[in-house]
Amino acid sequence: MKSRTKVVVIGGGIAGCSTLYHLTQEGWSDVVLVERNELTSGTTWHSAAQVTNFGMNQTMVGLKSHSIRLYKELADDPDYPINYHHADGGIRLANTEAQMQGYRHFTSMARGMDVHFEVIDAEECARRHPLISTDNLVGGLWDPLDGDIDPAQLCQALARRARKAGAEVYRNTPVTGLVQHSDDTWTVQTEHGDIDCDIVVNACGYRVNEVGAMMGVQHPVASMEHQYFLTEEIAAIRDAGHRMPLLRCPISDYYCRQEKNGLLVGFYEQDCKTWGMDGIDPNFVNALCPDDLDRVTDVLEGAFARMPALMEVGIHTVVNGPITYTIDGAPLVGPIPGKRNAFCIIGLRAGLGEGGGHGWLLAQQIVHGEACYDTWCLDPRRFTGHANVELTALKAIEDYQNEFRFHFPHEHRPAGRPAKTTPLTPVLAAEGAEFTVVNGWERVDYIKPHPEFEPTLGFDFDESFDIVASEVQNVQTNVGLAEVNGFNRIEITGSDRHAFLDRVFCGTVTKREGRVGLGYLLNHHGMIKAEATVANLPASDRGPARVWYGSAAASEYHDMDWLDQHLRADEDVCLRSLTNDQTILVLAGPNARAVLAGCARGDWSADAFPWLSVRECFVGIAPATVMNLSFSGELAYEIHVPNSSLYAAYLALRQAGCVFDMRLFGARAVESMRMEKGFLHWKADLITEFDPYETGLARFVKPQKGDFIGREALVERREKGPSKCLVTLSVQTDQAPAHGGASVMQEGRVVGTVTSGEWGHRTGLNLAYAFVEPDCADIGTKHEIDMCGTRVEAMIIAPSPYDSQFERMQS
């Protein structure tokens, strides 16, 4: 066994084997995999191992396509062929029009990744799968490349190729401890000796938290028991002359694929069970949980009704094994929050289908610092303080029960709520607030007209349209108040704080006390990493001179990790998170100044406190830090208040607002207004796949200011010209917004992808942002957007169609 290597991957299931193989493909051969037993002795060996292309966003579709391409290549390898039923085809069933509409959206989205699904009616489903009845069936989504693979052969093939490229695999070598040194390198302790390395990767499946604990980390991953059975031979399958397509059923929660001449049927029962919550028997190796088919009776009935042939055939094997889940159903693939040189590839609930792609994206992140796709939907830092194992278990149960039922736009399921609240949450609930969830925070979406108000879930504009319109109108003509909780706030102190910020931002960072600026942070490839406001606060009785770095709520761990990693040892800079201590009250509209002046001493005139100013004060009796900043495009103030004083500040503002009949507004109104102003959302419009020039942010880049992170790569990219450009589109329908992922088409060809879409209530425009090819990015160019299967005309317009001179917010 080596005593030193570059990377140690812990765990020899599909996650570990794929990571090891892809590290060698990215050029690192001095890498090892350590497995406590034999390869695939965790969950992988007994997987149903279906391999589909279907995903909810382009990153998921892209990584699954990679799996399929790779598995096909492995299956076709004459030296070591593996069993892969490639392209049997698969149907995802639907019994409602709303599900069909969703499938049409996912088809539009996948086309942008050159993946081609088909939405078919019930008769066509039955024609392609002769065993199914069309009762209670509207249709389905057809994935032509669906199939299944031999999981053990797959892992052996990946390990074999990795070994040939120089990697080493140590079987029967349990990892017993992890020690990190002051230079951020690691020692991996095993039963057979220590291995020193630069980087560790946790790929330990359901034992993720045993190894997590060795580095002091509790990963938000929980296991569920999951069962399938295998039937005896079915004559209709034997005689069909072709393999049966796979089935996935959101109506009755089962899946089904051909196994030899019988079927493999797996269940997602409502009466489901977590597993291993209080520890896992160390001898649970190549093992299964006891069969429990009674638990799945309800689901079985649905499967029988759909496939009557099942009722006449015997069951010869039942498999019940642990399967891992996270809080949102997607795995955790990337850097471990708060740690250096530590990565994970865990929480895989469809690891055979996805594992090839996850290992590929993780290896790219380890070797190059970033992957070819934006990996935020997989990033372990997308969950923050609320993400404990208890919450994960609640969400895992909910997710398991809804395995094949995708989330509709604006849908937030109830398990594990509320996770993060402020003292105002119950107050706003009593005012009729409907809440959305942002990184666990309960944030006001809009104010309901009555407690029973519940809009229809779907892809069209829903019954909240007029409510949002009226909240926007109030902000435009009068004054509104909104709570923005969970906003990421990092306090930066120390004499080198501005030099540090100059290095991490690609533009000019304002250093003037009392002033606020907006800027962008790039990765080493010159792509957009983060967006933040920088507010310079003078020394006061609340602290020394300091910068408040503010960014999106979900970025709390992500941005802190990035800033922390780029601190130099000799720099006088201190970072402190205030995210959970402070909440913002946004006061917006032409009467905002008068309301603020009514409850906070001082001169708030445009001369004394102009746009992009910051000042400490008291709102009523509550200490507050006020910034003249606007996301709505109207005159607006962000009022930052410690949570202990939040209710007091709220009461003071409400009282001062009485004179103007001030009303509350929520996140949906903000979304509408920010699109009218051309403002962008982190991880919707601002992603690591594009640089600031492509994103239309040239005015925030100052290459001439000297060195900054990503400068060299950015200058090179600038010379090559853009791959895509972000544009604003006016969409010619009042039926529905364009949803993120939808394909933008020119003469039947995909030329771009929508990133955001919302109705602009002040402009009367249905607005969308999209990245499109540069030669069709000019203002006035007409495109079509594939909106849930309907081609809708959309024309490129100038950004910021509302108050394009930005006069109102500076008034």
Site residues (CB under 6 A) for ligand FAD? 10-16, 34-37, 41-44, 46-50, 174-175, 203-207, 210-211, 226, 228, 266, 319, 321, 323, 348-353
| Cα separation, 25 vs 164, whole angstroms | 11
Between 349 and 717, name the residue whose CB sits nearer to ligand FAD.
349
Between 13 and 666, name the residue whose CB sits nearer to ligand FAD.
13
CB of 756 to ligand FAD, least distance (A): 31
Between 35 and 269, name the residue whose CB sits nearer to ligand FAD.
35
CB of 344 to ligand FAD, least distance (A): 10
CB of 191 to ligand FAD, least distance (A): 9
Using the structure block, give the residue that is written with the tokens 């109506």: 251
CB of 156 to ligand FAD, least distance (A): 13
Between 275 and 609, name the residue whose CB sits nearer to ligand FAD.
275
Between 54 and 435, name the residue whose CB sits nearer to ligand FAD.
54
Between 14 and 200, name the residue whose CB sits nearer to ligand FAD.
14
3-state secondary structure of 661: coil
CA dihedral for 431, 437, 443, 447, sign (positive or negative): negative
Between 10 and 646, name the residue whose CB sits nearer to ligand FAD.
10
Between 13 and 507, name the residue whose CB sits nearer to ligand FAD.
13
Cα 101 from chain centre: 22
Please answer whether residues 37 and 135 qualify as being in contact, where contact means their C-beta atoms are separated by less than 8 angstroms: no
Q: Which of 681, 692, 376 is nearest to 522 (CA)?
A: 692
Cα 808 from chain centre: 34
DSSP assignment letter at 514 = T
Neighbours of 539 (CB within 10 A): 11
Q: Which of 549, 765, 625, 16 is nearest to 333 (CA)?
A: 16
CB of 168 to ligand FAD, least distance (A): 14
Between 389 and 597, name the residue whose CB sits nearer to ligand FAD.
389
| Cα separation, 185 vs 651, whole angstroms | 52
Q: What are the backbone angles phi and psi of residue 473, rounded to the nearest 5°?
A: -60, -40
CB of 732 to ligand FAD, least distance (A): 40
Between 324 and 756, name the residue whose CB sits nearer to ligand FAD.
324
Please answer whether residues 352 and 44 qualify as being in contact, where contact means their C-beta atoms are separated by less than 8 angstroms: yes
CB of 184 to ligand FAD, least distance (A): 22
396 HSE (CA, 13 A, CB side): 28
CB of 714 to ligand FAD, least distance (A): 36
Residue 286 CB-density burial (10 A; 0-12 exposed, 13-18 middle, 19+ buried) = exposed
3-state secondary structure of 22: helix
Between 349 and 808, name the residue whose CB sits nearer to ligand FAD.
349
CB of 245 to ligand FAD, least distance (A): 14
Q: What are the backbone angles phi and psi of residue 274, rounded to the nearest 5°?
A: -75, 165
CB of 226 to ligand FAD, least distance (A): 4
Residues 6+ apart with CB under 8 A from 688: 370, 371, 374, 375, 523, 525, 527, 528, 529
| Cα separation, 334 vs 371, whole angstroms | 10
How far is residue 417 from each of residues 85, 325, 436, 442, 693, measured CA to CA in Å?
41, 18, 11, 8, 39
Give the per-residue SS3 of 705-762. Answer: HCCCCCHHHHHHHHHHCCCCEEEEEEECCCCCCCCCCCEEEECCEEEEEEEEEEEECC
Between 41 and 625, name the residue whose CB sits nearer to ligand FAD.
41
CB of 786 to ligand FAD, least distance (A): 28
The token pair at 253 is 């929660």
Between 147 and 507, name the residue whose CB sits nearer to ligand FAD.
147
CB of 147 to ligand FAD, least distance (A): 10
CB of 52 to ligand FAD, least distance (A): 8
Q: Which of 34, 45, 70 is nearest to 158 (CA)?
A: 70
| Cα separation, 297 vs 268, whole angstroms | 11
Please answer whether residues 197 and 188 qualify as being in contact, where contact means their C-beta atoms are separated by less than 8 angstroms: yes
294 HSE (CA, 13 A, CB side): 1
